[in-house]
Amino acid sequence: MIESTESVPIDVSAGPKTLRERLHLWRTTYGRIPVSRLVELSKPEWRRIGLGTLFLLIGSAASLAFPQAVRIILDGAFEARDPAAVDRAALLMVAIFLVQAIAMSLRSWLFTTAGERVVSELRKAVYSRVLEQEIGFFDITRT
């Protein structure tokens, strides 16, 4: 129990305990936030997000190509007994690995920088709105 300034006990433990309860409280208090608002905030970063998505697809395709390269190596080693085919398949695996590593690195960097920029713009907007509030707002609202 925490005592308030008016000497009325406030039961802090009475609030929502689970994530579901907290989300329900948030939605009933503030309503749902439409995804369109998030899309609007991320519009200036559409190039980075688009390139990040492209590199995500390339990295995913490269990771799906690994089993095929292993199949080629095993088929070449056991059926054809061709060491050159095994060598080519091993080089193909290295090339696939390099493509995947570059694609995943670029994807991570692009999504991270785009996210940081969107959050930075959101923080600037919130800060400017707080500064625009009347003095009475801070008497009522805890910030």
Token pair 């039961």 is found at 11
Distance CA 90, CA 96 (A): 10
CB atoms within 10 A of CB 50: 12
- Is pLDDT of 1 > 70? no
Q: Which residue has the higher pLDDT, 13 or 40?
A: 40
pTM: 0.67
pLDDT in tens, 15-57: 667 888 877 777 777 777 778 888 888 999 999 999 999 999 9
